[in-house]
Amino acid sequence: MLNIVLFGPPGSGKGTQSLNIIKKYELMHISTGDILRDAVKNLSPIGIKVKSYLDKGELVPDEVVIDVLMEKVFSSKDVKGFVFDGFPRTLNQAEKLDKILVSKSIPINLVLAVEVAEEELYKRILGRKTTGDRSDDNEEVIKNRLAVYKNQTLPIFDFYKKQKKLVSINGMAPVDNVFGSISEVIDEMISVNSKL
Ligand code: AP5
Ligand code: MG
């Protein structure tokens, strides 16, 4: 199995590149943001619980999001691997994810850290605002999403660095070029590990 974490700030291209990766390598995409937004749209009990967190750009409590993730991982049968987009976002989530995957004997193989300058993140998210319908795509909430990323999510960088799984990707280039860099890293990993 090939399990990849896509790590990066809001607007860095995690969703865009996840779609490219799952298509090329036939993996399953798990975006906790997408799952939570669907829950809000469907007015499900979880959706009602999490709406105010998403609207403000705050993290949904770990126990809620870990349940959502486990349900998705354990209900996915016959998959070649997962692309985790927007999860983990706290050290606690990263440790839980390791435990869940070890229990299934399918550890994380690679963590791709997509790096994009802050002013470009604003530009991209505000650009998406004209076509999308996300309640968190406005300047004030973006500011909070970035602060939350720095304070609560960035410490995971070192967690994966210590595990020697982290590879930085220049996310400033056009979409196809970023995907080219990502493909090179994944192909190299596959070529040295025949089990993947
Ligand atoms: P989530 O849905 O994960 O959003 P996010 O991290 O804020 O990131 P985005 O989805 O906005 O950006 P992205 O990196 O996917 O970039 P994209 O490809 O869209 O989380 C939302 C909320 O859900 C959180 O705030 C929290 O409340 C909750 N949540 C989710 N997971 C959670 C967790 N694990 N724990 C707790 N709470 C959780 O690209 C952005 C734009 O740029 C697009 O328009 C795209 O077309 C464009 N673009 C992409 N790449 C390029 C490029 N190379 N050049 C030019 N434009 C580009
Ligand atoms: Mg996204």
In this prediction the pTM is: 0.97
Residue 86 backbone class (left: φ over 0; alpha: ψ -120 to 50; beta: rest): left
- Taking only the tens place, the pLDDT of each residue in 111-160 is 999 999 999 999 999 998 777 789 999 999 999 999 999 999 999 999 99
Find the residues whose C-beta lies inside 6 A of ligand 1.
Answer: 8, 10-16, 32-33, 36, 53-54, 57-60, 65, 86-87, 89, 93, 124-125, 127-128, 136, 145, 174-175, 178
CA of 10 to the centre of ligand 2 (A): 7
Determine contact, residues 187/2, Cβ cutoff 8 Å.
Answer: no
Task: Tell me how far apart the alpha carbons of residues 29 and 85 are, in angstroms, rounded to a whole number.
Answer: 7
Mutating to test ligand 1, I would choose from 5, 7, 14, 129 the residue with most ligand atoms within 8 A of its C-beta, which is 14
- CA nearest ligand 1 atom 23, residue: 33
Of 20, 16, 21, 19, which is closest to residue 4 (Cα–Cα)?
A: 21
pLDDT at position 159: 97
Dist. CA 194 → ligand 1 center (Å)? 32
| Model confidence at 96: pLDDT above 80 | yes
Predicted pLDDT at 182: 98
Residue numbers annotated as active site: 14, 89, 128, 134, 145
pLDDT digits (tens, 9 = 90+) for 52-74: 999 999 999 999 999 999 999 99
Please state, in angstroms and rounded to a whole number, the distance separating the CA atoms of residues 23 and 187. 14
- To the nearest 10 degrees (0 to 180), the angle between helices 155-162 and 91-103 is 40
Q: How far are the Cα atoms of 14, 104, 132, 155 from residue 138, in angstroms, in the given order?
A: 19, 39, 11, 25
* pLDDT higher than 90, residue 6: yes
DSSP string, 121-165: HHHHHHHHHTT---TT-SHHHHHHHHHHIIIIITHHHHHHHHTT-
Q: Which ligand is nearest to the CA of 35?
A: 1
Neighbours of ion ligand 2 (CB under 5 A): 14-15
